[in-house]
Chains A and B, each alone.
Chain A
Amino acid sequence: MAGLVTVFGSGVMTNSVPETENNDVIFVIGSNTKENHPIVALRMLKAVKKGAKLIIADPRRIPLVKHAHLWLKQRHGTDVALINSILHVMIKEDLINKKFIEERTEGFTTAAAAVEGFTPEVGEKITGVPKEKIIEAARIYAAGKNAAIYYTMGITQHSHGTDNVYSLANLVLMAGNLGRESVGLNPLRGQNNVQGASDMACAPNVFPGYQKVSDDAARAKFEAEWKVKLQDKIGMNAIDMMYAAEAGKLKGLYIMGENPVMSDADQKHTLHALKSLEFLVVQDIFMTQTAELADVVLPAACFAEKDGTFTNTDRRVQRVRKAVNPPGNARDDSWIIMQLSHAMGYEMNYADMSEVFDEVGRLWQNVAGINYRRMEKGGIQWPCPTTDHPGTPYMFKDKFPIGKAKFSAVKFNPSLELPDDEYPFTLSTGRQLLQYHTGTMTRRVKAIDTAAHEAYVEINPADAGRMSIDNGAMVRVSSRRGSITLKAKVTNVPDVGVVFIPFHYSEAAANVLTNPVYDPICKIPELKVCAVKLEKIQEDKNHAA
């Protein structure tokens, strides 16, 4: 997201999901859309049915590949090289939108110079994608009148994730594919309210609405509304918090609805950090692996038990409505926060959640026009500055928030831990269709857990054959950080030399293995690439049982 903020001044999906069906070229990179954003994928299929060309760039044979016109199977972590090669072809074949570049961007020359060396041949050598396909992708994408790009964690969860995003931004800028309906660059949000949590500034550097804490005017506005003095110093991000906890600098941590033990890279480190704290409060609906470590656990209400709003991946603010009562003494998170606040001497008095939202609107222009009454008729996409504004399906129509969009000169950097003799496999992690995130919810849905009961590691049949690993056999997967034991799923989804583990399962947590190295700008961990080894486990007792 920080990447897009640098380029455009805003890091959101440029289009709305319904616009997808009018794309004539869809370029999906690093997104297993059919499994992780199933409903967005349906719009893509609708577009394909209407005649759109679907290009997939993904190292794995993801379900959407079946519907693709072109599948670029790049090696893990080589996205920059792939995109740079595509850009090289576009420039060389004069497939770029000069008018757009001239009027709405800056920095084209340096960006173009950076891809000079990325001939399709060089691209093929780094990415493994045949040069013909690179050229074809460039031509198809450039020929699209309504071309849009979709990506998710396959792009961002790398040590060079921001570079990946920059190179995709270069691509849309080069083609002039922005500022119109059904063209753009769309990071699909993984969780229900990632967009909202960002908007609401659960972030160390900004107030709600991306207003910098260091900005005096912004701070003054918030201080006036909240009637309290606020800090101007940027705080710690989640990663820094863990190191600070380990270092003893951070004493108290209040976690609401999060399970870092499962979701963060390098579980050992996370556990150690949390145990080093003086006081940990976890507020959740289940006794998560993180809650187990807490000094106090506060029982919260789930989505069906409370009122509020979520902001989905396409900036659509939508109502959450209470349908049932929470169990026992569980309470809304907001109630708990207000009680705590009161106990600490600060009054938060809201009759209901709509008043909270109205306060957000007073502080952030982009949602000023949204209120609960309007949302009775359905969600509204911000920016929506006034109550007679219909909302904004696509962004950057006339200008970018930063004026001219910035090209970036992007260099290719390999992932930080590549396979070697000792750890010969590349491990990639991610989600699968049935389970969700750390599994706290879905693993408590009987039907889902019946159908997707066990942790598994996907192994290519060639590797499995070479190592005599049968489908369903137990294997040990180890990295320099730890090892887990789980079932082998022999499938041609991953390529030879690559294994994939979904991270939903605590009994074989993928993040025991992952490499806690971070993108220097976004602080997103490199969950998509690390080096592991596989060992077959000889377990005769399985037969006995």
Chain B
Amino acid sequence: MGIKLTIDGKEVEAKNGATILQTARDYGIYIPTLCDNPALEPYGGCRLCLVEVEGMPKPTTSCTTPITEGMKVKTVTPQVERLRKTVIELLLSDHPNDCMTCERAGDCKLQEFAYFYGLRSNRFYGKRRQYTKQDGNPFLERNMDKCILCGQCVRVCNEVQGVGAIDIAYRGFDAKVCPSFENDLNCEFCGQCVSVCPTGALTGRIWSKKGRTIGIKEVETTCSYCGCGCQLNLHVRGNEIARVSSKPDNHNEGWLCVKGRFGYEFITSPDRLTTPLIKRDGKFTEATWDEAISYVAERFKKIIADNGPDAMAGLSSARCTNEENFLFQKFMRAVVGTNNVDHCARL
């Protein structure tokens, strides 16, 4: 049985237990937020999603407030707009505002809100947090002076990844997300925290200066590591992969592991084989495709002619595509003429 309420005068209905924000989202009503993530527990930290509810003395955070029957919600009022603007100004007053060189420019929620609220100048100024410590891990870049304390990284690490490598330390203005005792990050390096960070506070180390949004083409594909089959978005710039992300609406819910997220560098490894090689006198020599193909075909044909097709065998790979495997066994069976074909499913 649904609960009926109105949001901005529109009659809506949702399940008991839903929050105002969830309900609004379902009906396409936009409420700004920096700390909410549908995959995580409601937090109520950033205060951008404040709405007015009839009968409540003060604005309330839509991300944490459960809906009730007959509730009347207003998502845009002069008061909540003023409060949202103040919140963003406050955040910007403690932010490096170095969007020019920031890895996340164009893909940063804080920047986006500053844009929407037209915040060129700021009523507030004062001390800014500045951190110099570089984390020693090879995967994640942590620029904590860009952190807006939305807590998404803390929650995703704890709630989703089950690791709990980070939490908020210190009090007041100096509150800071860090590993215990400010040690270097020592975790599973899944980068889930990076994927939920709304600003440039957390980025991939190898993403640095590979491209932001301009000139980036996203290609959706399937991860080539384990059998989970996670959906990846390869961010391609030119002929290079700039970084990897994943969409929250896929079967892996946008989550990836360290290999899927950061393990693509092998593609451009200098060790890649770039030309056919034929071993002559125990040494590999480079060959053209025509040479290699006809050489292999001849040798195969000779073995078949001399010893029958069952003197040939093929080993295929669980790393290759279905189509390649299909063609491979078809090659062995239809062209070579043997059922001596297998793969490495057992390992």
Contact = CB atoms under 8 A, between A and B. Distances in A.
**A–B in direct contact per CB < 8 Å:** yes
Contacts of A444: 265-266, 269, 271
A231 B317 contact: no
Interface string A377-412: 011000000000000000000000000000000000
B223 interface: yes
B184 to A, nearest CB: 11
Interface string B293-306: 11111011101001
A483 interface: no
A328 B239 CA distance: 12
Interface stretch (B64-72, B158-166, B175-183): B158-166
B162 A192 contact: no
Interface of B: 137-139, 159-162, 188-190, 205-206, 217, 219-231, 234, 236, 239-241, 250-253, 255-259, 262-269, 271-279, 284, 288-289, 292-297, 299-301, 303, 306-307, 309-347
A241 B239 contact: no
Interface centre among B227, B269, B275 (most CB of A within 10 A): B227
Contacts, number: 452
User: Does more than half of chain A's interface fall in helix, strand or loop, or is it mixed?
Assistant: mixed
A329 B344 contact: no
Nearest to B337: A231
A441 interface: yes
B276 A299 contact: yes
A18 interface: yes
Interface in A188-210: 188-205, 207-208
Contact of B296 (A309, A321, A340): A340
Contacts of B342: 202-204, 235-238, 241
Contact-residue bracket for chain A: 35 or more
Interface centre among A253, A255, A303 (most CB of B within 10 A): A303
A433 B257 contact: yes
Nearest to A449: B138
Contacts of A506: none
Contacts of A190: 226-227, 318, 347
Given A202-B329, A297-B276, A238 B344 contact: yes
A433 B273 contact: no
B315 to A, nearest CB: 4
A18 B251 contact: yes
Contacts of B325: 193, 196-197, 200-202
B331 A337 contact: yes
A39 B230 contact: yes
Contact of A434 (B258, B284, B295, B323): B258
Interface of A: 1, 16-18, 34, 36-42, 45-46, 49, 66-67, 153, 156-157, 188-205, 207-208, 213, 222, 226, 228, 230-231, 233-238, 241, 244, 249-258, 260, 263-264, 278-279, 281, 284-287, 291, 294-300, 302-306, 308-314, 316-325, 327-334, 336-341, 343-346, 348, 353, 356-357, 359-360, 378-379, 433-434, 436-437, 440-442, 444-448, 450-451, 522-525, 527
A189 B273 CA distance: 28
B228 A45 contact: no
B195 to A, nearest CB: 13
Interface centre among A194, A233, A359 (most CB of B within 10 A): A194
A353 B222 contact: no
B299 A235 contact: no
Given A198-B343, A258-B317, A446-B265, A313 B275 contact: no
Contact of B227 (A279, A286, A312): A312
